[in-house]
Amino acid sequence: MGKFRNVIAADAISEYSDYKPEVQGLGLFKRGVERWHADYSFRSAYEKDPAAALAAAGIGEIDPGDLDILLVSEKATQATAGEIPLPRICAEYRRFIKVKQKHAKQIRDASPSDDRYRRWRQRMVNSGVFSQGVAKFQKVVHAPFAIELCKGCTVNCWFCGVDAEQYDGYAPFDEENEKLWRGILRVFEKQMGRDFAEHGFCYWATEPFDNPDYEKFLDAFHDELGYLPQTTTAVPMRDPERTRQFLEFTKTRNSFVQRFSVTTRKDFERIHEYFDPEELLLVELIPQFENRASAKATAGRTRKLVLDRLDSGKKVPFEYDLESTGSIACVSGFLLNIPERYIRLITPCRATDQWPLGYRIIAQTTFESPDEVDAFVGDCIANRMPQSLEEGDPVGLLHPESTTLDVVDDTTLEIAGGGLRITMKGVDGAADFAERLRQGSDSLEQFVEARIDAGFDAMETLMVMNRIFRTGVLRDPDDWDQVRDRTVPLSITAIKA
Ligand code: SF4
């Protein structure tokens, strides 16, 4: 048998919210792919005897010849090239994956209606490449907001990337909270536009189903913004009938894919037993119980665990990276907690001592009314989303240890990091600029003065600096505390001249 593959290429594109499979049995076929991705003992059995392995897993109706086209590289390539026939079920599965990928891209490419927020968010999206690499960048949607409807979480996953607190109650969907909820959603619609605001979602360091009124909040969200936000639950089997009804409910609204975070192998089996394959067509199962299939970001509780084990000289039984930590944070916008009535402006970052949860808190306050949320959001957009560097702002690379500045010629500079290479043309004295940027400067003013002393034009220096700022490769003005605390180096990158 040939080499198996994890990435499934796709061809056709269609709209997501009205996606309907054009062949029967796609849910069952998806279950075969899902089983293969999550279950390594099934993989071994499948490699030896595909039909027997499928039958043993209770999905013997799947034709292994079809499944191979998704799982075996050579067959996939041959089918794509037309050298062997592409069965209809495989073509439909590819279309389905493409629609899902397009949906994620649409969220990432969506824009707030406010230009200041739009430019800031784009810079946060760009900086994600330098922080987390291109592959992860493609998965992070930089949603506009996340709203927690509980205080803490009951599930207590060992790997919790946002280190959720112990559960301590929920916000009921009573008259007061409904008024507040609808008011807040209208604020977001006003401040960032409906098309962007609809990509918010209603959990963070919380489990959606910990709130018995979760579905009511969601329905009001749909009412206000026209879209039912995605739900990820780690307890689909806590009350399977509720989950079933919830999935039915999502089909009656404008919605797309939901997700089950599957924390145990036992749950994986129970989910497959309880739900019909077609019921779960629009549900992604994330096999958290299998680290090989679902690598963990070294953020939050996972990072704590790694540090504790290293401190006590114990082995860490999974892959980790304390430098390029990854992050599960996916909001460049606002994080709210309804029971606690707080709101924060956040954006993803590598997990550090200062930001162990993999996101920066740029501003925060408490609120009692939608008007107060409105005032905070407006203030953040006006004052906490810098559009350019000011003269007193420090200048330096965000991740000097993994970013390189290559001088191509007298006026051309290349910035490379995270798998991305950006060419900056029209940089007078490119070698001088790169060297100064590599060293960093306590302020933009000092940087410009040094350039003037070296014979370069001040205005041109400022313009180049702000072009570079927009690429997301520089550390943000509000993010220098941890550097000053010497938890990360200012600048250590090498330059190739
Ligand atoms: S990962 Fe999700 S479900 Fe698990 S503890 Fe964290 S917030 Fe709760």
Residue with the smallest CA separation from ligand 1 atom 4 is 157
Question: In ligand 1, which atom is closest to the CA atom of 205?
Answer: 7
Q: 258 — phi, psi (to 5°)?
A: -110, 170
Q: How many angstroms separate the alpha carbon of residue 233 from the centre of ligand 1? A: 9
Q: What is the model's pLDDT at position 17? A: 61
Q: Are β-strands 359-366 and 342-348 bridged in parallel, bridged antiparallel, or unpaired?
A: antiparallel
Q: What is the model's pLDDT at position 210? A: 98
Q: What is the model's pLDDT at position 131? A: 86
Residue with the smallest CA separation from ligand 1 atom 6 is 160
Tokens of 477: 């003005």
Cα separation, 199 vs 143, in Å, equals: 6
Q: What is the model's pLDDT at position 485? A: 55
Indicate the top mutation candidate among 148, 155, 264 to test ligand 1's pocket, ranked by most ligand atoms within 8 A of CB: 155
CA quadruple 283, 122, 112, 15: dihedral, nearest 10 = -40
Tokens of 497: 């001249």
**Which residues have any ligand 1 atom within 6 Å of their CB?**
153, 155-157, 160, 164, 205-207, 234
| pLDDT-flagged residues of the chain (< 50) | 1-15, 486-497
pLDDT (tens digit, 9 = 90+) per residue, 453-495? 999 999 999 999 999 999 999 999 999 877 665 443 333 332 3
ipTM of the complex: 0.99
Q: What is the model's pLDDT at position 16? A: 52
Query: What CATH architecture is 400-496?
Result: Alpha-Beta Complex (3.90)
Question: In ligand 1, which atom is closest to the CA atom of 232?
Answer: 2
Residue ranges per domain, the chain?
A: 26-102, 112-383, 400-496
Cα separation, 103 vs 114, in Å, equals: 22
Query: Which numeric CATH code is attached to 112-383?
Result: 3.20.20
Q: What is the model's pLDDT at position 6? A: 31
Q: What is the model's pLDDT at position 245? A: 98
Half-sphere exposure for 214 (CA within 13 Å, toward CB): 27
Q: What is the model's pLDDT at position 484? A: 63
Q: How many angstroms separate the alpha carbon of residue 235 from the centre of ligand 1? A: 10
Q: How many angstroms separate the alpha carbon of residue 158 from the centre of ligand 1? A: 9
Q: How many angstroms separate the alpha carbon of residue 327 from the centre of ligand 1? A: 14
**How far does Cα 239 stand from its chain's mean position?**
28
Q: What is the model's pLDDT at position 12? A: 30
H-assigned helices in 11-59: 26-38, 40-48, 50-56
Residue with the smallest CA separation from ligand 1 atom 7 is 205
Q: What is the model's pLDDT at position 81? A: 86
pLDDT (tens digit, 9 = 90+) per residue, 229-241? 999 999 999 999 9
Q: What is the model's pLDDT at position 40? A: 95
Q: Are β-strands 420-424 and 495-496 bridged in parallel, bridged antiparallel, or unpaired?
A: unpaired
